């Protein structure tokens, strides 16, 4: 299984250390409140190592991992480890909670869609051909054995990064008594309050603005934050923007979806679940979030 070069960078900032690395095709960082460079570096290496491990194990773009084994099983039952079993349990729960809208088997539709910012739409006939390969109801999951019909695929991308954030934050918490903020490509979690009781200030990128331009600053003292949106993955055709969030029932992008949804919750996995479920609601996203009673920001 090929892996990318693994490098970390650490620098001291006023009041904390800032560590940087790349994972999951995203710039990542960890902020650590400690006076010890050795401790800060240990936290950085642990957080980066956690992100790289989960990426190597669950990326759909890599051969030789558990996702590749499942997707190349050709209808044979696959026995999975406990961590993967937990993720499959979560996938089943999300499918039920969303009335089938959140479906980890819809990743097979990427054979048709290329959300590269261009204007090329897929052939409707190809999407029609792929739809029989989409559907959690076509799988058989009885822990620890998973089976699906030949040609089907699973993709944990809908919550994999958020899961990695929570695991990385737990690793950081075990190594330092100071506050720590783990940020994996805009999905993040805070481990322990800051010394002076202040909040970490988190910027949410403005939809349609230049990269790095924040639409709002969100103070975060504890918990986690996740954002789902189409800032970097979309198609634009005849003035219409097509989001990368697909409706597994039709194979086409969700209509009237927000440009982005940001949610604060106890864990990043929970926040990410709510952002994606809101995006899948299309024009009803705001109503869904109000009903859930969560702190949320929607951009259209």
d(CA 200, CA 239): 38
At 209, the pLDDT band (50, 70, 90 cuts) reads low
Lowest-pLDDT choice from 81-85, 140-144, 234-238 = 234-238
Average pLDDT, the chain: 93
pLDDT of residue 100: 94
CB under 8 Å to 89, separation ≥6 — which residues? Answer: 143
DSSP reduced 3-state for 105? helix
Strand pairing class (234-237; 26-32): unpaired
DSSP reduced 3-state for 79? strand
Mean pLDDT of 191-205: 93
Q: Examine residue 35 and state whether it is found in any structural domain, yes or no.
A: no
pLDDT of residue 175: 97
CA distances from 143 to 95, 182, 256 (A): 17, 31, 37
At 2, the pLDDT band (50, 70, 90 cuts) reads very low
Burial code (b: 16+ CB inside 10 Å, e: under 16) for 238-256 equals eeeebbbbbbbeebbbbee
DSSP reduced 3-state for 168? helix
Q: Examine residue 10 and state whether it is found in any structural domain, yes or no.
A: no
Mean pLDDT of 140-154: 97
| Residues 204 and 290 both lie in one domain | yes
Joined together, the tokens standing for residue 14 give 């006023």
ω into residue 255 within 30 of 0, thus cis? no
| Residues 214 and 288 both lie in one domain | yes
Q: Examine residue 3 and state whether it is found in any structural domain, yes or no.
A: no
| Residues 149 and 208 both lie in one domain | no
Q: Examine residue 26 and state whether it is found in any structural domain, yes or no.
A: no
Of 139, 154, 169, which residue sits at a domain end?
154
Indicate whether 234 pLDDT > 80: no
- In the chain, the largest separation of any two C-alpha atoms, in whole Å, equals 60
d(CA 66, CA 86): 13
Q: Examine residue 127 and state whether it is found in any structural domain, yes or no.
A: yes
Mean pLDDT of 158-172: 97
Indicate whether 5 pLDDT > 80: no
Q: Nearest CA to 111 among 124, 127, 128?
A: 127
Q: Examine residue 143 and state whether it is found in any structural domain, yes or no.
A: yes
Q: Examine residue 172 and state whether it is found in any structural domain, yes or no.
A: no
Of 100, 135, 154, which residue sits at a domain end?
154
The H or E element that residue 272 is part of is helix 268-280
At 272, the pLDDT band (50, 70, 90 cuts) reads very high
Burial class for 232, CB neighbours closer than 10 Å (0-12, 13-18, 19+): middle
| Higher-scoring residue by pLDDT: 80, 1 | 80
- Work out how many domains the chain is built from and give that number: 2
Any idea of the CA torsion for 63, 66, 71, 77, to the nearest 10 degrees?
140
- Decide if 23 contacts 62 (C-beta within 8 A): no
pLDDT of residue 136: 97
| Residues 149 and 217 both lie in one domain | no
What CATH number is given to the structural domain containing 73?
A: 1.10.3980.10
| Residues 137 and 218 both lie in one domain | no
Containing structural domain, residue 112: 66-154
At 170, the pLDDT band (50, 70, 90 cuts) reads very high
Please identify which residue in the block is written with the tokens 């990695």.
Answer: 164
| Higher-scoring residue by pLDDT: 29, 117 | 29
Indicate whether 158 pLDDT > 70: yes
At 266, the pLDDT band (50, 70, 90 cuts) reads very high
pLDDT of residue 24: 93
Of 134, 154, 174, which residue sits at a domain end?
154
| pLDDT tens, position by position, 21-67 | 999 999 999 999 999 999 999 999 999 999 999 999 999 999 999 99
Q: Nearest CA to 159 among 95, 217, 108?
A: 95
Q: Examine residue 43 and state whether it is found in any structural domain, yes or no.
A: no
What distance, in Å, lies between the first and last C-alpha atoms of the chain?
Answer: 40
What CATH number is given to the structural domain containing 295?
A: 3.10.520.10
At 152, the pLDDT band (50, 70, 90 cuts) reads very high
| pLDDT tens, position by position, 58-72 | 999 999 999 999 999
| pTM score | 0.92
Joined together, the tokens standing for residue 279 give 């995006």
The H or E element that residue 49 is part of is helix 37-58
| Residues 134 and 227 both lie in one domain | no
| Residues 149 and 221 both lie in one domain | no
């Amino acid at each position: 299984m090929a892996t990318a070069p693994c490098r970390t960078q650490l620098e001291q900032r006023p009041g904390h250390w800032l560590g940087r690395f790349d994972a999951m095709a995203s710039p990542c960082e960890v902020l650590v409140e400690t006076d010890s460079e050795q401790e800060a570096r240990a936290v950085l290496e642990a957080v980066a190592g956690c992100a790289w491990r989960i990426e190597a194990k669950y990326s759909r773009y890599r051969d030789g991992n558990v996702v590749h084994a499942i997707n190349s099983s050709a209808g044979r039952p696959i026995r999975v480890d406990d961590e993967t079993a937990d993720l499959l349990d979560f996938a089943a729960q999300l499918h039920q909670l969303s009335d089938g809208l959140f479906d980890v088997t819809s990743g097979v539709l990427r054979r048709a869609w290329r959300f590269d910012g261009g204007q090329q739409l897929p052939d409707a006939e190809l999407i029609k051909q792929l739809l029989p390969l989409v559907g959690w109801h076509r799988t058989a999951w009885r822990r620890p054995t998973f089976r699906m019909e030949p040609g089907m695929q699973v993709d944990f991308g809908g919550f994999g990064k958020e899961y990695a954030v929570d695991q990385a934050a737990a690793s950081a918490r075990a190594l330092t008594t100071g506050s720590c903020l783990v940020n994996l490509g805009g999905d993040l979690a805070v481990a322990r309050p800051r010394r002076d009781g202040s909040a970490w200030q988190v910027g949410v990128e403005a939809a349609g603005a230049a990269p790095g331009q924040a639409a709002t600053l969100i103070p975060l003292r504890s918990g986690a934050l996740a954002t789902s949106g189409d800032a970097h993955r979309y198609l634009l055709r005849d003035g219409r923007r097509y989001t990368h969030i697909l409706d597994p029932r039709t194979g086409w992008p969700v209509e009237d979806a927000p440009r982005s949804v940001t949610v604060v919750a106890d864990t990043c996995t929970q926040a990410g679940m709510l952002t994606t479920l809101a995006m899948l609601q299309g024009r009803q996203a705001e109503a869904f979030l109000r009903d859930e009673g969560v702190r949320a920001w929607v951009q259209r």
